[in-house]
Amino acid sequence: MGKNFKVILSKSCIIILTILFITGCYKKEENIEESGEEISSFSIQSLGEKVKFSLVGESAEVKEKKGEIKKPEISLEFENQIIEIKTGPEGKAEIKISSENQKVEKAVLTGNIKITQKNIKTKEITLEAYCKKLTYIEKDGVLIMEGKPVLKRGKSKFCGEKIFYYWKGNKLEIKGEVNVLIYPEKSSGD
């Protein structure tokens, strides 16, 4: 029952947001000023193939042709890892939801973003990153970091104009003004 309830709740949230977005896009002739509706304590979950996507926000505001989530936090659970993404008080996010399966296809976050990846069982932090803009693309299994991104794995540090982190395959791709400092990892025999 718990799993069905979460699916029903998430689909209800998607339907409500869609209705609010559509009504927000309809311009009333008698109202020249931009009006908006605000939903407090926003939350959505999407179960993809082998990944659980959760988005929580302080509020979601729907205005003409624009839906925006304030102070968003995202978590991605897959295999034995969890990636937590936080933006802080100034953070914002825009999401794109598939009309076919009601799953989050893409999310673009802005603000002072912190990304932490942990082992679910041991709680050991395996990756930390910071950036000003983050794009999540479900189908590619990628997080694209922009705005002076810095990624740390242990003592190793990676910087560039854009960092592509393919979390499904645990791969990094860095583009533009690449600066990398790599320390050897300790083996279990050390």
Q: Is residue 49 part of a domain?
A: yes
| DSSP code at position 14 | H
- CA–CA distance, 101 with 133 (Å, rounded to integer): 26
Q: Is residue 97 part of a domain?
A: yes
Q: Is residue 174 part of a domain?
A: yes
Q: Is residue 111 part of a domain?
A: yes
Beta strands in 64-161 (DSSP E): 66-70, 73-78, 81-86, 92-97, 104-119, 125-137, 142-146, 150-153, 156-159
Which structural domain range is residue 106 located in? 2-26+35-181
Element (H, E) at 25: helix 2-25
pLDDT, position 189:
55
Q: Is residue 85 part of a domain?
A: yes
pLDDT, position 79:
85
Q: Is residue 186 part of a domain?
A: no
Domain count, the chain: 1
Q: Is residue 187 part of a domain?
A: no
- What is the CATH classification number for the domain harbouring 11? 2.60.450.10
Q: Is residue 6 part of a domain?
A: yes
Per-10-residue mean pLDDT, the chain, length 190: 54 52 38 48 63 68 58 88 91 84 85 96 96 94 96 95 93 94 73
Cβ proximity of 34 and 64 under 8 Å: yes
